[in-house]
């Protein structure tokens, strides 16, 4: 054992115990916005935000393009400027931001276990908000055959490489996936001097806004970067196309793509492969808290007030589902703050929850439960269930459905219906809440299904 390791091994670990009114896990847009709002609603409350990184702000810290803050701040900022604004708002509202502090689990008596350089500690909080975000599934989880050369990464890693470390990602890239974040990857690749030679998706169409796709094509279809002086090439979105194999020993040399319509394979030469989308919530703390994950979102199941099945534990932002945009996560944080303030003010936890399930080809709905009011609900007895953030449910499908007729039922009873212009993967449709008040607290799960739709 080296001298340094001996010192570390012998150093006594401080295990201070501390308490707070609210602990927020994660200083991304959801956690920071929740903290700022909570301090306004409950000025006496001690609100601690726990963040494992050296800097607060979450993912926007390393997404340098514009477009952050539209819905929550009503302006368009770069990711870092947006992150800084939200951090300043939380700090100036009086939230206690603890950086380099990882929440590693729960003690047997319900405290949060914290690890920061040189110390471990227990934090007892009356309410906890899980705002740990989501991540893209790495290549290893996507079952793509081939070797394991350098040059294969997710968009999150790409952004850190290019913007935080100012390194070049490569010169010719294939981007796998075609939701919003794929076009963000194209922008980041161009910034780092790499040309995107193809975007692939197994679906018949990209899942972003047409403006993003055409904007990216117009701006990044050609790369005139002084570092690389790359020739002019159109940006290609290859639909109904799967990446089936990655080639290269030390560095990627190409990918095999399969045209799913014609059944033909071909090689695309590239030195970089970016896996985008295919999100998985950072749900480890939800699992270790004993919560059941929603089968569709893989996040903790919550009701409209973002309450989980564990009393005092709320969840907000992208830990609830695959990625929504940052402003949507921030508004979710604002929503949860009001509900946490009600809880601190004495509102009782629901007795139980009625789950909301989706029948295929629908994929998930969020929030995924409706609360059953406690036996004694005080002044709030008889009130309708809590409305979800921004007043609607988020709904996604596994395939693109046009003019979808939606039926909502419980057991054999129809609760309501809706007609949605488009339900798809990678981008949420909004489902209204009129049907919620008809839910029977003693009935079975609510089921959302498609009765009629056109597919592309």
Ligand X SMILES: Cc1cc2nc3c(=O)[nH]c(=O)nc-3n(C[C@H](O)[C@H](O)[C@H](O)COP(=O)(O)OP(=O)(O)OC[C@H]3O[C@@H](n4cnc5c(N)ncnc54)[C@H](O)[C@@H]3O)c2cc1C
Q: What span, in angstroms and rounded, lies between the C-alpha atoms of 152 and 267?
A: 16
* Interaction between residue 72 and ligand X (CB under 6 A): no
* Token pair 């729960």 in the structure block, residue: 106
* Interaction between residue 223 and ligand X (CB under 6 A): no
Query: Which residues inside 174-213 make contact with ligand X, applying CB under 6 A?
Result: 181, 184
Nearer to ligand X, 27 or 255 (CB): 27
DSSP 270: -
Q: What span, in angstroms and rounded, lies between the C-alpha atoms of 152 and 168?
A: 13
Nearer to ligand X, 80 or 416 (CB): 80
Q: Which of 417, 413, 412, 411 is nearest to 451 (CA)?
A: 417
* Interaction between residue 53 and ligand X (CB under 6 A): yes
- 171 token code pair: 């010169």
Q: Which of 38, 133, 35, 126 is nearest to 88 (CA)?
A: 35
CB of 387 to ligand X, least distance (A): 20
| Centroid of chain to Cα 423 | 19
Q: What are phi and psi of 395, to 5 degrees?
A: -130, 130
Number of H helices, E strands in the chain: 9, 26
CB of 136 to ligand X, least distance (A): 6
Q: What share of the chain is helix, strand, coil (3-state, %, to 5)?
A: 25, 35, 40
* Interaction between residue 27 and ligand X (CB under 6 A): yes
Among 42, 159, 208, 297, the residue binding ligand X under the rule CB under 6 A is 159
* Interaction between residue 439 and ligand X (CB under 6 A): no
* Interaction between residue 169 and ligand X (CB under 6 A): no
* Interaction between residue 121 and ligand X (CB under 6 A): no
Applying CB under 6 A, the span of 155-163, 169-177, 196-204, 407-415 interacting with ligand X comes to: 155-163
CB of 36 to ligand X, least distance (A): 13
Q: Are 275 and 139 in contact (CB under 8 A)?
A: yes
CB of 179 to ligand X, least distance (A): 10
Question: For ligand X, what does the binding mask look like between residues 98 and 117, x meaning CB under 6 A?
Answer: ----xx--------------
What three-state secondary structure class fits 426? coil
Query: Which residues inside 281-300 make contact with ligand X, applying CB under 6 A?
Result: 282, 285
Question: Interface with ligand X by CB under 6 A: which residues?
Answer: 25-31, 50-53, 58-60, 63, 65, 67-68, 102-103, 131-133, 155-156, 159, 181, 184, 282, 285, 317-318, 323-327, 329
């Amino acid at each position: 054992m080296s001298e340094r390791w001996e010192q570390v091994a012998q150093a006594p670990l401080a295990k201070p115990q501390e308490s707070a009114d609210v602990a927020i896990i994660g200083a991304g847009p959801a956690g920071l916005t929740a903290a700022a709002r909570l301090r306004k609603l409950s000025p006496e409350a001690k609100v601690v935000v726990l963040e494992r990184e050296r800097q607060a702000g979450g993912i926007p810290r390393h997404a340098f393009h514009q477009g952050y803050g539209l819905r929550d701040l009503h302006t368009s900022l770069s990711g870092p400027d947006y992150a800084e604004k939200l951090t300043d708002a939380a700090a100036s509202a009086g939230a206690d931001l603890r950086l380099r502090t990882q929440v590693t689990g729960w003690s047997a008596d319900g405290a949060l276990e914290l690890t920061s350089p040189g110390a471990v500690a227990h934090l007892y909080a009356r309410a906890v908000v899980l705002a740990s975000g989501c991540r893209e599934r790495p290549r290893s989880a996507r079952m793509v055959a081939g070797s394991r050369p350098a040059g294969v990464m997710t968009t999150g890693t790409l952004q850190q490489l290019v913007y935080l470390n100012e390194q070049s990602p490569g010169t010719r890239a294939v981007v796998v996936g075609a939701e919003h974040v794929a076009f963000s990857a194209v922008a980041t690749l161009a910034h780092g001097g790499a040309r995107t030679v193809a975007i692939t998706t197994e679906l018949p169409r990209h899942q972003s806004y047409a403006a993003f796709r055409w904007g990216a094509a117009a701006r990044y279809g050609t790369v005139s970067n002084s570092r690389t002086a790359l020739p002019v090439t159109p940006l290609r979105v290859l639909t109904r196309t799967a990446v089936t194999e990655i080639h290269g020993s030390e560095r990627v040399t190409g990918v095999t793509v399969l045209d799913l319509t014609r059944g033909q394979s071909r090689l695309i030469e590239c030195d970089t492969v970016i896996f985008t989308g295919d999100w998985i919530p950072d749900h480890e703390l939800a699992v270790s808290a004993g919560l059941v994950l929603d089968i569709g979102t893989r996040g903790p199941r919550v009701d409209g007030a973002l309450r989980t099945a564990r009393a005092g534990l709320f969840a907000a932002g992208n830990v609830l589902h695959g990625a929504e945009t940052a402003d949507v996560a921030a508004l979710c944080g604002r929503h949860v703050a009001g509900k946490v303030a009600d809880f601190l003010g004495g509102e009782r936890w629901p007795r139980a929850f009625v789950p909301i399930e989706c029948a295929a080809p629908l994929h998930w709905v969020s929030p995924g439960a409706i609360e059953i009011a406690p036996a004694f609900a005080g002044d709030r007895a008889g009130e309708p269930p809590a409305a979800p953030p921004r007043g609607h449910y988020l709904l996604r499908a596994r395939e693109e459905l046009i003019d979808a007729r939606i039926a909502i039922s419980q057991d054999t009873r129809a609760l309501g219906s809706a007609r949605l212009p488009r339900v798809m993967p990678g981008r949420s449709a909004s489902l209204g809440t009129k049907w919620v008040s008809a839910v029977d607290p003693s009935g079975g799960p609510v089921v959302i299904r498609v009765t009629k739709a056109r597919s592309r």
